[in-house]
Structure 1
Amino acid sequence: MERIYFDYAATSPVHPEVIEVVHDAMINHFGNASSIHHLGRDSRRMMDNAKKVFADSIGAKPNEIVLTSGGTESDNTAIIETAFAREKEGKHIVTTVIEHHAVLKPMDYLEKLGFEITYLSVDKYGMIDLEVLKEALREDTILVSIMYGNNEVGSLSAIKSIGEIIVESVSTAYFHTDAVQAYGLESIDVKKESIDLLSTSSHKISGPKGIGFLYINEAIHLPSFMLGGEQEMKRRAGTENIPAIVGFQKAVEIAQLTKESRRNEYDSFSHRLIQRLNDQKVDFEINGHPDSRLKHIINIWFKGVSSEKLLLLMDLSGLAISAGSACTAGNIDPSHVLIAMYGKESQRVKESVRISFGIDTTMKSIDYLVTELIKLTNKLKK
């Protein structure tokens, strides 16, 4: 049985060109980047080249890039270290109710330590009210953390407007955004969008797992989240993973070169999927914002169809889709994102699935996906 993957928002297969550079680095570039001999200098050169690629991709400077193990570490570092570094200035933080758990759990941790967290609600499209954000900002607000694009429904935040509001407010809050889903597909410019801290992860863009970066504006000085050596200019201890770093670099280079073509392709996939469902008179609605959204994610409410049962039957048909964040895989708890958007009692919470596209998605696979969706949703309704 052929297996077809539609869960790229959870993770993505590694691009063949990425595998090549990782393999080469493992064999030929194994020196410790902190060593002064030629093997160490070789690794340092490769790491510096990668940082320049990462920085250029978001309009930053290489010295503003801190290598991490991925999105979770980047989010935790940005939030927890900002809180500890600035608690004498204030203990108020603003975020939203639909953030990834890598943001929400650090917020919960800080609340237990006496920090005050304001959780902004969202509308049915997964968007915050910018006027409510303005009202939430105070003189003692030290951090605002709002994701660039939602990992479950794909809704894009008004990041530039949010950045402007923070800059113009009475607060001196840092602006952090979890850009894990948006990075590689959206055009991000940290300076133009007034972003102080930004999190990314390699494995979402067909790079290796276990590597990412945190952008930290050069005017900000945060202590190291990891304690040990003095790597990353004392901002992140631990021997740098050169094979993963150069693999991430290659994935970013490919993503930058193919960004527009992939956006157009993913858009055409969504249109085809929706058109065929409409042609077959399937009873469904799209969750999230209809226009301002990530092109590779589409979240669909199949009315009267259990998402849990649909996932199981789709898997038996060789199709991998999702009912929400990968970090809640195997968890029967309903999506906190859908609850925030539509209410706990809404049928959407138990009847919605997430489909996401990537490098191996084709129009042929989309057609097969739709055929199975039509067949299985009709079966489950009966």
Structure 2
Amino acid sequence: MEAYFDNSATTKPSDEVVKAMLEALTIYYGNPSSLHRKGVAVEKLIKTSRKQLAKALGVKDEEIIFTSGGTESNNAAILGTVAAKKRKGNKIITTRIEHPSVLNVFKSLEAKEYEVVYLDVNREGKIDLNQLEQELDAQTILLSIMHVNNEVGTLQPIGEVRKMLERSNSKAIFHVDAVQSFGKLRFNPAKLGIDLLSISGHKVHGPKGIGALYVKKDLQLTPIAYGGGQEIGIRPGTENVPGILGLGAAASTIEEKIEVHISKMDTLRNRLKEGILSEIQDVIINGSINNESAPHILNVSFFGIRGEVLLHMLEQDNIYVSTGSACSSKKSSQSHVLKAMGLTDQEIEGAVRFSFSYENTIEEVDYGLSRLKKHVQELRKIMKR
């Protein structure tokens, strides 16, 4: 049996997605900017995909900009905002537990003499709203906060943040990295008061190399690249048609079945969590403990072992997990997320992330739990020698 529990790193493309992409590569291969019928046919399909994604998010078609993925969406949102607002102020705010595609952009702006504030988080990975309120001022032009943390699954109070911005009469643009929440939670960017929102295709059973940026209507955003004017000039370049059609197919599935998928992932996560807590000693669950977390992520610290060693032992049984973000897992440094949450070195060293999809099964979870229990016991015996 194979049990793939690394869906926060990437997901297997669905059959519908593969079919849409194959048709784009073999039938609808025209350039959407061409005036002949092959180009016009592809342009219509892109419009359909844009409509599918907009429907899944509950926004207008024209508010969707296709990108190469979550990283580009985050970069375009942040850099495009500071460029557009550079005469309004130079203060920008984010959190200490953001994805590298946000944190590294903020660090680059800090080097360019922007005033950067990194919000602290508590043991559960939640931001301090009081700290945010104290930091907001007339010079603040951008606030970037992820919706769901990719390592521990903690859900940030996005709605409360918007209310705080309104109470403070802040003109700051509100950007949300929703790469780990799109398809895992039911939400509407417009109703939450979000100005810019990033998503990625390969986290929702779509293809790699495609993503999108929701840009609130009439919001000014300076392009970070220049070319032929595609995507209303914000993201120029010949469109990635196979990727766009694949993302559209994935979005259509999300819109139709999200409640069922959420329920299933939550059931799987809780089954594994309860099994670990009842059958394996000396463990802690990292993240929120009050249902303020995503249904698909479970981060656990196993005391007395190294998470990386446990990962490779599980791999021998065709069980696939991770020790953190896929974008930083090959680096030797400790998880910046777990460090910001105040975990000890031992807790960080023993941390493993399990992340689920609607394609996982109860049988896979039970198989994973049985092998996990065996390997943890084996490793602890070795460590005691």
Show the counterpart of 1:339: 339
CA shift at 1:200, angstroms?
Answer: 0.3
Show the counterpart of 1:58: 57
Q: Distance in 2 between matches of 1:364 and 1:182?
A: 25
Deviations 1:120-162 (A, max 9, x none): 0000111011121111101010000000100000000111111
Letter in 1 for 2:302: F
Show the counterpart of 2:31: 32
Show the counterpart of 1:305: 305
Q: Distance in 2 between matches of 1:311 and 1:42?
A: 47
CA shift at 1:170, angstroms?
Answer: 3.3
Q: For 1:177, what is the secondary structure of its paired residue?
A: strand
Q: Distance in 1 between matches of 2:341 and 2:58?
A: 32
Q: Contact 2:2 / 2:364 at 8 angstroms: preserved in 1?
A: no
Q: For 1:186, what is the secondary structure of its paired residue?
A: coil
Letter in 1 for 2:106: M
Deviations 1:28-66 (A, max 9, x none): 111111112111111111111111121222222111111
Once the two structures are superposed, the pairs formed by residues 287-302 of structure 1 within 5 Å of their partners are 287-290=286-289, 291-302=291-302
Q: Distance in 2 between matches of 1:84 and 1:223?
A: 6
Show the counterpart of 1:69: 68
Show the counterpart of 2:329: 329
Once the two structures are superposed, the pairs formed by residues 1-382 of structure 1 within 5 Å of their partners are 2-290=1-289, 291-343=291-343, 345-382=344-381
Q: Contact 2:226 / 2:233 at 8 angstroms: preserved in 1?
A: no
CA shift at 1:348, angstroms?
Answer: 1.3
Q: Distance in 1 between matches of 2:274 and 2:192?
A: 35
Q: Distance in 2 between matches of 1:298 and 1:280?
A: 16
CA shift at 1:4, angstroms?
Answer: 2.5
Which ranges of structure 1 fall in alignment gaps of 5 or more residues? none
Deviations 1:272-297 (A, max 9, x none): 21232233243211100021111011
Q: For 2:277, what is the secondary structure of its paired residue?
A: helix
Q: For 2:181, what is the secondary structure of its paired residue?
A: coil
Q: Distance in 2 between matches of 1:128 and 1:346?
A: 22
Q: Contact 1:180 / 1:204 at 8 angstroms: preserved in 2?
A: yes
CA shift at 1:202, angstroms?
Answer: 0.3
Which ranges of structure 2 fall in alignment gaps of 5 or more residues? none
Q: Contact 1:342 / 1:348 at 8 angstroms: preserved in 2?
A: no
CA shift at 1:165, angstroms?
Answer: 1.2
Q: Distance in 1 between matches of 2:275 and 2:54?
A: 41
Q: Distance in 2 between matches of 1:47 and 1:86?
A: 31
Deviations 1:157-206 (A, max 9, x none): 11111112112323200000000000012112112111000000000000
Q: For 2:146, what is the secondary structure of its paired residue?
A: coil
Number of aligned positions between the proteins: 380
CA shift at 1:255, angstroms?
Answer: 1.7
Q: For 1:300, what is the secondary structure of its paired residue?
A: strand
Q: Distance in 1 between matches of 2:77 and 2:241?
A: 23
Deviations 1:8-37 (A, max 9, x none): 000001101110111112111111111121
State the 4+ residue runs in structure 1 displaced beyond 6 angstroms: none
Q: For 2:341, what is the secondary structure of its paired residue?
A: helix
Q: Contact 1:11 / 1:204 at 8 angstroms: preserved in 2?
A: yes
Q: Distance in 2 between matches of 1:104 and 1:74?
A: 14
CA shift at 1:333, angstroms?
Answer: 1.2
Q: Distance in 2 between matches of 1:198 and 1:317?
A: 38
Letter in 1 for 2:172: A
Q: Distance in 1 between matches of 2:255 and 2:282?
A: 37
